[in-house]
Amino acid sequence: MKPWVLPICFASVLFLNGCGGNISNANTSINERSIAQTNKFIPSPIVLYSIPDDKLKSPIKELIHYETGDVSSVPLLTYQEWEDRGGRQPWRMEPFSVLQVVISNLVPENISTKENMLYSFKKSGNTAENKDGVVIKLINPKDDSLNNPSHASKLTYKMLVPHLGSYDITIQQPQESVEFIITKIVLNPNSTD
């Protein structure tokens, strides 16, 4: 073996290790920039549930019914029977009450329990807040109450959930019913507006 081969091999290994370290450092800084950009990413709204408008027009035989994550079709006759029997479920005629009951599943239990979603809201004008910081606000129509003094048949609420984002929730009274049902739920991740 020639005496100059070993030093050249040794120098080559050191040189390659040095370059490899620089490449690694370059990749690290690229990854750090990617992570920084990812933290600025704001996801688009996500439609979680929606009933097409044509399903709410006459003649209606069945209503699509959303309740705590379950979706089913309920004959309109069922709603009429509730009303004819003196409103066995009169809370279904009050939009804010419907909202409290049927969307309680949209808030994780570690943020607010179902019990707090149902019973711990304090109302002030068109806004209500529970003791866990969940806020529900009527945004359309611009009533001064959550209880729909304008007697609108379509209302939109915003529910702000700490550490999660917000939901835009539409609740409607189909043409042939006095009952209100949820017709659209849109999740706005990381949005507190």
Q: What are phi and psi of 43, to 5 degrees?
A: -70, 155
Q: What is the pLDDT of residues 10-28, one digit of tens each?
A: 444 444 455 444 444 555 5
What's the mean pLDDT when you consider all of the chain? Answer: 78
Measure CA 7 to chain center. Answer: 66
Strand partners, 111: none
Question: What's the rounded Cα separation, in Å, for the pair 70 and 86?
Answer: 26
Residue 191 to residues 46, 69, 106, 136, 159, Cα–Cα distance (Å)? 12, 22, 15, 14, 10
The answer to whether 191 and 166 have CB atoms below 8 angstroms apart is yes
The answer to whether 91 and 100 have CB atoms below 8 angstroms apart is no
- pLDDT band at 174; cut points 50, 70, 90: confident
Q: What is the pLDDT of residues 118-170, one digit of tens each?
A: 899 999 999 999 999 999 999 999 888 888 888 888 999 999 999 999 999 99
Q: How confident is the model over 44-59, as a mean pLDDT?
A: 84
Residue 147, both tokens: 């209880």
Q: Which helix (H) or strand (E) holds 99?
A: helix 95-102
